[in-house]
């Protein structure tokens, strides 16, 4: 079965950097689109960054200029590089991807279980 597993979270000081990874496991044909979301307890899940099928990327205003989303098709991995981290970036970060499991198959969306990012002052 297709699964997404996030890693790379941890505790960092404000101004530091982290690189999150999202491995898409299982046999798939391609990753069509991907995105990162984050959620603080008591709040709704917030969109952070994404890429569309054409390769264009988009970012929430709160992270523009600091975060970068990318992917490695050979490794079936989606990344989120986070620089100049702020305490308000503290959250559980989730990866999601729209994939094809075979040529011509219908695209399906999957979610990971999240990785904790904590930014201290």
Full DSSP string of 6-73: EE--EEEETT--EEEEEEEES--SEEEEEEEEEE-TTS--EEEEEE-TTS-EEE-TTTTTTEEEEEET
Comparing C-alpha atoms, which of 23, 35, 38 is closest to residue 85? 38
Q: Is residue 13 over pLDDT 90?
A: yes
Which residues make Cβ contacts (< 8 Å) with residue 5, sequence separation at least 6? 22, 23, 25, 112, 113
Residue 119, pLDDT > 90, answer: yes
Position 3 confidence tier, pLDDT thresholds 50, 70, 90: very high
For the segment 89-118, the average pLDDT, to the nearest whole number, is 96
What average pLDDT does the segment 24-36 reach? 93
Residue 93 CA neighbour count, 13 Å, CB half: 30
Mean pLDDT for all residues in the chain: 96
Is the pLDDT assigned to residue 55 strictly greater than 90? no
Confidence (pLDDT) at 22: 97
Which pLDDT score is estimated for 54? 86
Q: Kind and range of the H or E element at 108?
A: strand 108-111
- Beta bridge pairs of residue 101: none
What is the number of other CB atoms lying within 10 angstroms of the CB of residue 67?
A: 21
pLDDT digits (tens, 9 = 90+) for 77-96: 999 999 999 999 999 999 99
3 state SS of 92: strand
Lowest mean pLDDT among 48-52, 54-58, 82-86: 54-58
């Amino acid at each position: 079965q297709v699964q997404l597993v996030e890693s790379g979270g941890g505790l960092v000081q404000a101004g530091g950097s982290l690189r999150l990874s999202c491995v898409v496991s299982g046999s798939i044909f391609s990753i069509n689109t991907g995105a990162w979301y984050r959620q603080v307890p008591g709040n709704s899940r917030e969109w952070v960054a994404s890429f569309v099928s054409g390769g264009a990327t988009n970012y929430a205003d709160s992270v523009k200029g600091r975060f970068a989303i990318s992917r490695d098709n050979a490794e079936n991995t989606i990344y989120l590089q986070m620089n100049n981290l702020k305490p308000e970036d503290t959250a559980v970060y989730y990866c999601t991807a729209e994939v094809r499991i075979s040529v011509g198959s219908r695209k399906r969306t999957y979610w990971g279980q999240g990785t904790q990012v904590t930014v201290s002052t």
